[in-house]
Structure 1
Amino acid sequence: MNSFSWNKTSNKDKVILFIASVAATTWFLYSFLLLPQWSQIEELTAQSNIERQKVKVIEEFLLLHPNVEQFALELDKKFINVDAMLPNNPGISNFLIQIEQLSKGCGVHLGHVKPTQTSNKEGYREYAIEILISGSFAQSMNFLNKLENELRFINVHTISMQAGKNNLESKILAKIYSFGVPAESSKTTDIKNN
């Protein structure tokens, strides 16, 4: 059997072996040490840029709102107002109380408030209501103005006025809204499952 001896190898073969070992070592270092480090550096650089952008947004926010606690309180008040204007549940009883208080405040007589139709829409519910009031023209207009601007979000679509004995009788048809759709009844769920 032939044995390998470094001394017996020609110089040309030694140079070739040396070049091959340097090339293999370079390839190994490049593939297993440098490339992973470079890709990790690229990932960290991208992550650093994202974090810098987040910090920049926060710094701009702080410049616009130096008193963050006061801004948070203002936001809370706005959320409370929005929730009151467009609640997550129908809150019809609260609405009726608001209408009664509004009618007393405006000096009109509240004949009735009656829901006429409820519709489930995509992501919200719509309630058609009929409001009957009587009072002077100025009182009725004041009531209508406050109804549209001070209570929850309401869409008045029809107003009919008729002169009564001593007052103006007004019939207001409107829609109020709430977020969400009621849970399906068990019968509907059973039918869908079968």
Structure 2
Amino acid sequence: MKIKDAQKHDRLLQAAIHVLATAGLAGFSTTKVAKQAGIPQSNLYIYFKNKQDLLSAVFQFVIHEESVAVTDALDETTAIVDQLVASIHTIYRYALSQPEYVTVVQTLLDDGQMKRSLQLKAGDQANQRVQQLLRDGVDQRVLRPINLNLHRYFLTRPVFNFAAGVQSGVYQNGEQGLATVTTMIMAAVLLPTVYQSWLGGN
């Protein structure tokens, strides 16, 4: 793809993210996306086959960006528990800096039919690294033996909701509140003995 084409592709993705974040799935259309991007609607189909293809691309993009933010903050020389805490704190900062991306993730995953049609991008190394951290946590009896997607849900959704509350003024003390949210999440995902050991060290 030529550079100018890649730029149009990215403009359409960002426009789609904005439209989806502000209008929701019910108000999402390729017409609105093209208008937001300043590109003729007919040109949109050069880059995306249809509305579903565009939504899938949006999902893959925002999950990749979230995964990159997390993996950039990980220190693989530290214990898995410490990496999980670092992940939670990174996701919080990410949610504050990219609220539209977070809204898009939640919008897409909260729709059952849409969720079933979405697939992560093959070869997304950042996402694979996050999944591997969770898999290692289960294998090493640090995390509860449940589906990795559930672990990812517990590690992200409460943080997303808390960050939204901080931004809207519902929660005043972000850092103190984050410590409480982190403790709640760790209680949910860690095996009880691991949680008690972690709690005793903090």
Q: Give TM-score, length-normalised by structure 1.
A: 0.20
The one of the two structures with greater contact order (alpha-carbon pairs below 8 A, sep at least 6) is 2
- Higher-Rg structure is 1
